[in-house]
Structures are given as structure tokens and as C-alpha cells.
A and B are shown apart, each in its own frame.
Chain A
Amino acid sequence: MGFFTYFLRDMEQIVFPKREQNAIPSMDGALSPNDRLDGCEVIGEPIPGADDVAVGGDGALYVSAGRQVLRLSGDGYRERKLFASFEGNAGGLASHPDGRLLVCVSGRGLAAVDGTGQQAWLNQAGDQPLNCPTGVAAAPDGSIFVSNGSNRNTPEDWATDLMQKNRGGRLVACGPALDKPTVLLRDLAYPHGLAIAGDGKNLLLTESWSHKVSTAPLQGQGIGKMMAVNSNLPGYPARLAPAADGGFWLGLFALRTHLVEFVLREDDFREEMMRTIEPRHWVVPALASGGDCLEPMQFGSIKALGIQKPWAPARSYGLVARLNEDGDVVESLHSRVGGHHHGITAVRETAQGLVIVSKGSGRVLLDRSGGRQ
């Protein structure tokens, strides 16, 4: 990029301050940091690659992890058994009203698994394969909604998708038998999580790269007009789930940092970085950090007198937030820099409390207070 490009960009920032780059909101008020995620009960042994969680009609938990879906049941969900396994990594999960489990499988598409283990598949929508399914939700009438994060990358390569600044996500709807797929929305910035709101009448959708949660009224196998609920979150939203008293729970898998937002503006650096450096050493948000001395570091992260400052710029972070219907954050649970439970990809209210999936640490957490203080 030449001088002129930078000049134009500076001018654009002055003339159109609201275009694209919104300032990262500060973490205050209901988003004030705490250590509640680190204090949560861990369900059993670590589950490496744990990604999403769904509650079955039988009250058991289904957790996707790697190429498997595990079924967790009993008090504190301590009993664990294999429910299904696939050829690709399992991601987003949802229970269908008719009892089947809907599973997003990376590189394959959407699978519907019934109690006997029988699988039905949706692999294609419109003219494109469903190779980056990220989130799925089923409406009370049986209609199924599934988000395809990107048209260029699979979910494993989300960091590449962010650095490519892709806007190639789609929202697809189909009938209960995975039939008649229709593409409802295109050009989304990595749609990541879908949920049916508590009233059963609205669909909620997160878009990670535009740090946004939107909603639209359900109209059978279609939706009405999309409206933003919160379009400037301090992190990258992953999946969401309705909360019992209205509003919804949202897992944010990483925080936005000034450095990453800056690198997203620096095309030369970013392209060179993607070309010459391994993805795990990029300047990108991460689900977990600190274990590799080749990871990029920021000046605020220097340990002082042996202590990692919790307010250091966060390469990885744990954040769960509860938002009300207006999109305002009313409650949040954190695992700060130096904490253990980073990279929250899913959160779900269950009979035994709030279940949180920390993909960064490969742990499923249970907050028996239901996340309320």
C-alpha cells in the first residue's frame, strides 16, 4: 500500500467515523472483569477440542469434541460415553424437537443423528457445499437453520478466515428432513452461532468478524428482516443460547485487541505474515496462549516481578456474557490473562446450571448458580 492509500484511509476515518472500524468498547459496567470462569467447576477430565454443547430431550448433555460427540449425563454430568463419531471435526450442535441431534461436521455438512445412531446428511445448499458449518438451530416447528462460516475455509482455519477479511458466510434453512435447503443470507462475516430465542419466535445469529449479534423473526422455513441486537461487542462472538429470564447467553471466544484490529488494517503486513509465518505464530486472537515462545507478544504482557498482569493485552481470554433483549450486557463471567479457561465457544443453560465450553483449555465447565450472582 502506498502513502496515498494510507492517506485515504485516514481521511475515511475522519469523514466516516462509523464505517467499519468501531472503537473497541471498554470492559466496564456489566463487563467489568472478574475471575468467575476460573472458579467454575470442571466437568470430569479435560475433553480436548470441546467445541459446542447441546441439551438433549432426555436432559443429557451432548458435547462435540474433535471427531466425536460425547454424551454426558448424571449428577454434575460426570458420566461420559461416546454418542457418535464422524470423518471430520464435529462443531455446532442442536437438539431437534423430534429428538434427533443435529451436528455440524467440518468439511462435510450437517448431520442429523437419531437415537439409534442413524445419520442423515445435508451437504450442499444452493450451488455451494456446506463445508464450514459452524452453528445450527431448530425452530419449534421443526425447521432447521444452519450457518456456514466461510466459503473459503473450514472451521479449523478460522484464523485464516479472519486474516483474509472474508465475508463469505451463509445462513441456510431446510426442512425437518434436511430437505429443500435454501440460502437465506449471504456475505456474512463468519456467522458462528445460531439460536432460537426463548419466545420461540425469533432467530438469533452471531457474526464473529463483525462482532455482531442480530435477530430476525421466524417465518416458517424463512426469516423476516435481520436487525442488529449488538453490533459492537468487545470480543468475537461464538455461540449463544437463550436465557431463562429473557435475553440470551453469549460465549466470546477471544477479545478484540488494538493490535489485531491494527493488523487487519495493514494489508502488506498481513499478507506477508500469512505467506511466511505459521498460523499459530500469527498476530491473531487465539483460543489459548502462553505455551509457545514464538507467539507474538505485546509490551503490556511483560511479566513484572514474576507476575503476569491480568490487564495485559489478551491474545486469548475467557468471556461469557448475558445480554438482554435490547442487546445490553447485564452479566459476565471472565477468565482474564493468566487465567485457565480461555476460548469460550459455547454456553447453555441446563437443569443443573450453566454449562460453558472452554475450547482453549479443552474443558467443559459447570456453574451451578446458573451464572447469576
Chain B
Amino acid sequence: MSMTTSNMISFSQRLRASYSPRLLLSELLMKQWFEPVIPFLLMIGLLVYFAIAIPGYASLDNFQSLMRLYAEFGFVALGMAFCLIAGGIDLSVGANFALCNFAALFFLLVMEWPAWLVALATLGVGMAIGAINGILIGYIKARPFLTTLVTLIILRASVNILGEKYATVFATNSVENDAWDFLGEGFVLGIPINAAVLILVLLVGHVFLSRSRYGWHLTAIGASRKAARHAGIAVERMLFATYVLSGALCAAGGIFYAARQASADSRTGVGWEFSALTAVVLGGVSLAGGKGTVWRAMIGAIIIFALTNGFVRMGIPGYITSGMIGVILLVAVGIDVKWSKNRGKAVQKMYVNPAQVPLAPAPSLQRGSGSPYAQNDRLINAEAIGLDRVEGPEDVILDRQDRLYGATRDGNVIRFSGPNFEHREVFAHIGGRPLGMQFDKDENLIVAVAGMGVYGVKPNQEVFKVTDETNRTWYKLNDDSRLRMADDLDIAPDGKIYFSDCTTRYEMTTNTLDLIEGRPNGRLVVYDPATRKTRTLISHFHFPNGICVSHDARSILIASTTLCKVYRYWLEGEKKGELEVLLDQIPGNCDNINRASDGTYWLALVGIRTPAFDLASRMPGFRLRMVKQTPIDEWLAPGLNHGCVLKFTESGEVLESFWDPTGISHSTLTSMREHKGYLYLGGLENNRIGRIKLDGADPTWTGYEAYWGNKRRDKA
């Protein structure tokens, strides 16, 4: 979408307004997938380093052999990762792996079983050992660390005893078995068989962990065992299954190792539990449980493997490698604790990114100066309707039966009826924060609801959804498909609903931050009832607020709250699709726009520009530090405690203004609606709807007739 409010300003300002490294970083940090970025870069860096430092490292042959060497460790690390995510730990993985290695060789060479049976039986052994851990930890509720440490010692001793006893048998026996040799040396699509299986397991594991009910249960248990139990998750069974899974993964590693090495050396898998633990934590699987993915485990495992392997090939002694891995574990654990604790805070500190706001000069408001903006007291004595019986009517509208509607902060549309509007009723409860309203041809009340989208209320008070999402911008990190804060809307003669979504970065409760940020975060969206499609017309709009289809229905008027301007967007004619500035130097922050009976328009100013806030708007660094260093209530704001309504013509000339200069009756004035010679006033934070008599206005003119009836000006 090329059309934005930023087109009106210089290129460098536009660049600064739209792109900022801080903004990118803060949005990246909010993404789950961005968490393991540091280990990922470390992994790439290490591989590049070894490719440069070791001759022949970057060759295909080498990578194939590295993959074959790596895969078994990958299985073991994955087992460890599952246990960590479930909030436990499995120290017996190395020993289990070694035992499975022995078991596979035993089944093959001593029992002389066929390869498939060997594999199955070995898996069974691994799972049985995992089951012992699982029963102790899941059902008997033993501590995972001590339990698996004990299992580690017992298994390691067993492996040593058995290994000694059968060493000679293994050395002398040999079996011709093609299937078994394939497990040791085969390739699938150029990938070593063990690595190919690992990749398959990873894919399944990923889907299991992130998309399946059991995966979510597992993560939930890791995050908080107690909460998981309260949520009705079968904690015991899930924990049991997790250790069985870990055992099975160790067994898979053991099978491939046996097939490749055919040796029951007593040093098999020694220290792997710590390598695996280091790897997994380094990759970003939290030691505290409940956080991690299979990919993170693999990133960590590849780093550890590449380090060990690379150092050996560079001739660095093994004890130095071990020492280094120890240091890495220490650093990784430290970062893990600090990172998980402070990431949210970091995002909070960085999310608001003020930009320079290209404001035009503000006109004088001097009383009695003869300027159309000169302050007066025409709104102070407005008649109050529903005083203290309506909470923050952001927009007001009247229907054909002269009933008055207000969109209030409690998610309601309140209706006042009777000759003096003394009868109050809740017309509809929509929820969210209803803001702009308009009647369509069938007298359905269409409402823009912040936090929800665009909704409608039928005359029989039935609420229905119009739309709540639009097309997503492909290059944006923040998902902007949902309507965050639909603000105001208007309906064209063809039934299309044009509405403003005033920010895609904040919510109703935090939209003041958008005022402080001053970036083009909002957009103009259109819903077409014929196709039931919602489409973004203008992205990157500085806080679009009021929307009004022009009297001739050839264009729409859009108010920008932060830029204090009114724009015109052409729907047809030679300028179709173009955006132009209609009102440039407005003394306040524009809110709703509505039609007036004489072919002009009404514009509400929610705030008055103050010299101090204008200065701050030119100094983004000042606002950034203000946001960081002072509490939100203390931030400099536009002058929101004043009420002002402007009247302007089709050609952009401001005719007159109506003021309540210190907000005695109407502060945060956000809307006005002309109806049968009166002007009705609504305010975002006010406790009433106001009404003033307009001199010389058409006493038969109503909004409905101007849009759908005999007062239309578009088919003259």
C-alpha cells in the first residue's frame, strides 16, 4: 500500500517515522521464535569458524560424516530436553544409552536375532529403564535429580560388569546382516540413516510438543506442576510417559551407535548426561521447565558437538574441551535465569518508540480575535442529557424516531427516549469499547468496537458481527490481521463500511501511548457487504479517528488525531485512490467528523494543542526518556480537558467554532451529531450527552435522511 499519511512529509522523516531499529527489536523480542537467537548465531558462527580453521571442513563428505557422528548425541539430547520441558531432569541418559548399545550388540551377536527384532527389543530395554525412572518420579514422586542420578550409577556399573563379561564374545562373533549394516552405514537421500531418522523424530517431536494436546500438557506440567494438576491434567501419567519417551530416545541412539561402532567399550556415553544437559540449556530450553522446543535442543546439541569435534580435530586436549563445556554451561545457566526474568521488562522498556511528528503550526485561539477558532463559551451551558446516567459516550447518534444513542465505556449502547430523553435503557450490550456509530439503510446500528472489530445491532436489539479482521501485512512482525482498535466508521451509499483502526500496536487501555509515540500505526479499512470481505485501504496512517463519507459520496474524510489534520481520500473521480490534506492547521487533536445540514461538516477536537506538547512532538528523544523515567500519569499530554467543535466546508474552510474552553461541561469532546436543528455532543470521558440549539439550521434534517432518505445530496 503506497498511500500513507507519511507521503506528505519528507523522505528522511518518513523513514524515521516508519522504521526504527528499536521498534524492530522490541517486536522481535516479543516473538517466541526469536528466543534462541543467540545460540543460533553462536551455532552458525562456530560452524563458519571451523570451516575456515579446519581444511576440508566445509566439504559434503565431511558434513555427511559429521551428521553420522552427531545423530546419536542428538537423540540423547532430545531425551534430556523432553524431561527438562516437563520440569524434571534425566541424568541417566548417558548410561541408558550405553546399556542400550550393549543390549543391541547382545541381541545381535549373542542371541543372533534379526535386525528388526534387535531394534525393537533394544527400544524395549530403553523404555523399561525409562519406565523405572517414570514410576519413581511420576507416581512415587521421588526427586528427578536424585532418582536419575541413582539410576545413572546403577546402569553405569551394570554396563561395566556386562561389558567386561561379553567383551571377548563381541570381539570374536560377527554376523552377516545387511539390514544391520544399513543401520550403521546406510544413506537415505544422501543423509546418513541415523541423521535421517533423527530429523524425522524431530519433526514428529515438534508437532507433538507444539501442536498436540499431550505436548501442551507436558509444557504445562513443566511450567507449574500444581497449576497443571488443578487444570485436570494427569500429571503422574504424563511424567511417567515423559521418562519412557526419554528412555526410548536413548535406546534409538544406542541402536545406531551399536550398528556403527559394534563395540561395548566401557567409556561409551560417559559424561553424555552433562554434555546433553549443557547442550539443551545452551539452546534455550529452560532449566526451570515449561519452556523449550526440540529445535532449541538441537541448536544447543550441535554447538556442543561441533565444539568437541572441532577441538579434537584441531589437536586441543580433551580436558580443555571438557573445561570449556563446563564454563559454557555455567554461562548458559546464568543467561537462562536472567533472560527469562527480564525479557518482558526489556520489551516493555523498548516497545514505545516515539518519532518526530510533522505538525503544522497551530492557529491562534485568542478570544474575540475574529478568527473562526477564537475561544467562546457556546458549549458551557449546553443542555445535559442523561447526566451521570451514561459513562463516556464516545459517539452519539439519533434514529428516525428521535431516540438518542450513546456508545459507553462499559461495552453498552445506551438509548435515551421520550420527549426530554428522560427514559434510559441499555439498547445493546456488545462488550469491548463501543466507539463510532452509524445507521445503515436497514436501520441497523453499525458500531466500531475497540478491541473487537465492527459489530451491528438490529432494530430488535440483536447483536451481530460485521467483521473483526483484515488482510495481514506480510512484512510486519506484529500480526496486524486482527482489528485492534476500530474507532469510527461511516457507510457509503453502496453499503460499504469505511472505518478507522486507529492503532495496530496498542489497545484501548494503552492508546495514549500511541499519542506519545506519534507513529503512523493506524489504518483505514473497508468492509464490503457484497463480498463479505475486509480490506485495508490505507496502512500507515497517523492515528486515524473520525471517518465521514462526503455529502456527494465521492470521497471520505479522515481525521488524524496525532497530526491534527483532516484528510480526504477519493473514492471515485480522476483522483480516485489518492489521499490529500483537507484541513492542515487545526488547533487541536481531531476526533469524529459528521455531516451538517447545510452541506458542511462538523469536527470534534478531543484535545487542544498546547505549546509544550507541540514542542515535545518535535523531540522524540525527550518523549522516549519521559516514557522511561516518569510514571504514565505524569506524562505530558495534549490538552484533553477542553471541548471544541469546528464547522468546516467541503473546500476545507473553517467557518466557526463552539467552545467549552476549560471543559466545565464538555471535556474530552469526541463527537457531535446534528439532528433536527440541534447539535448533540458526546465525550470519551464525560458523564453526559450535551445538546445545543443551532441557529438557522434545517429543523427537518436528520442523519438518516441525509444518508438514506430525502436529504441526500449525492444524487442531485
Could you list which residues of chain A lie within 8 angstroms of chain B, going by C-beta atoms? 6, 257-259, 262, 266, 268-269, 272-273, 276-278, 281-283, 290-308, 312-313
Contacts and interface: CB of A to CB of B under 8 A. Distances in A.
Contacts of B688: 306
Contacts of B640: 297, 302
A305 B391 contact: yes
B686 A306 contact: yes
6 closest A-B pairs (Cβ-Cβ)?
Answer: A300-B633, A296-B612, A305-B687, A258-B634, A258-B630, A306-B687
A277 B362 CA distance: 13
B636 A283 contact: yes
A304 B512 CA distance: 15
Nearest to A282: B612
A259 B686 CA distance: 26
B610 A295 contact: yes
B222 interface: no
Contact of B625 (A262, A278, A300): A262
7 contacts: A258-B634, A259-B635, A278-B611, A293-B608, A298-B635, A299-B633, A305-B685
Nearest to B384: A306
Contacts of A302: 637, 640-641, 667-668, 685
A296 B637 CA distance: 7
B506 interface: no
A291 B662 contact: yes
Contact of B622 (A257, A268, A297, A305): A268
A268 B611 contact: no
Given A296-B610, A297-B639, 8 more contacts: A282-B612, A293-B641, A296-B611, A297-B641, A299-B632, A303-B667, A303-B668, A306-B665
B626 interface: yes
Contacts of B636: 259, 283, 296-298
Contacts of B642: 293
Nearest to B640: A302
A111 to B, nearest CB: 38
B685 A295 contact: no
B560 to A, nearest CB: 20
Contacts of B621: 268
A6 B625 CA distance: 10
B634 A298 contact: yes
Nearest to A266: B622
B382 to A, nearest CB: 13
A47 B632 CA distance: 37
Contact of A259 (B388, B610, B615, B634): B634
A299 B637 contact: yes
Contact of A294 (B610, B626, B635): B610
B334 interface: no
Nearest to B616: A269
A277 B637 contact: no
B613 A296 contact: yes
Contacts of B626: 259, 262
A279 to B, nearest CB: 11
A215 B512 CA distance: 46
A100 B139 CA distance: 94
A293 B637 CA distance: 12
- The contact size tier of chain B is 35 or more
Nearest to B392: A305
Given A6-B625, A313-B634, A299 B512 contact: yes
Contacts of A295: 610, 639
B631 interface: yes
A293 B375 contact: yes
B269 interface: no
B619 interface: yes
Nearest to A296: B612
A294 B608 CA distance: 7
A308 B667 CA distance: 10
B365 interface: yes
B661 interface: yes
A212 B610 CA distance: 32
A266 B637 contact: no
Interface string B630-660: 1111111111111000000000000000000
Nearest to A261: B630
A31 B129 CA distance: 69
B663 interface: yes
A254 to B, nearest CB: 15
Contacts of A273: 612, 615
Contacts of B420: none
Contacts of A313: 633-634
A266 to B, nearest CB: 6
B670 to A, nearest CB: 12
B608 A257 contact: no
A297 B640 CA distance: 8
Listed residue (B616, B636, B662) with the most chain A CB atoms within 10 angstroms of its CB: B636
B369 interface: no
Interface in B363-386: 365, 375
Contacts of B629: 258, 262
Nearest to A311: B633
Interface string B151-191: 00000000000000000000000000000000000000000
Nearest to B362: A294
Contacts of A283: 612, 636
B615 A272 contact: yes
A293 B365 contact: yes
A258 B662 CA distance: 24
A6 B685 CA distance: 37
A337 to B, nearest CB: 11
The winner among B612, B625, B639, B667 for most chain A CB atoms within 10 A is: B612
A208 B214 CA distance: 66
B622 A269 contact: yes
Nearest to A304: B685
A277 B641 contact: no
B641 A294 contact: no
A258 B631 contact: yes
A33 to B, nearest CB: 15
Contacts of B625: 6, 262, 266
A311 to B, nearest CB: 8
B615 A297 contact: no
Nearest to B685: A304
A277 B635 contact: no
A290 B667 CA distance: 12
A27 B634 CA distance: 16
A135 B641 CA distance: 37
B618 to A, nearest CB: 8
A95 B687 CA distance: 52
Interface string B239-271: 000000000000000000000000000000000
B662 A301 contact: no
A327 to B, nearest CB: 27
Interface in B663-694: 663, 665, 667-668, 685-688
Contacts of B638: 297
Contacts of B635: 259, 298-299
Contacts of A268: 619, 621-622
Nearest to B661: A293
Contacts of A291: 662
Most chain A CB neighbours (cut-off 10 Å) among B625, B630, B633: B633
Contacts of B615: 269, 272-273, 276-277
Nearest to B642: A293
A276 B618 CA distance: 13
Interface string B521-538: 000000000000000000
A90 to B, nearest CB: 31
B386 to A, nearest CB: 12
Looking at A259, A278, A292, A303, the one whose CB has the most chain B CB atoms below 10 A away is A303
A273 to B, nearest CB: 6
A308 B616 CA distance: 24
B304 to A, nearest CB: 37
Contacts of A294: 365, 608, 610-611, 639
A301 B662 CA distance: 13
A295 B639 CA distance: 7
A283 B639 CA distance: 13
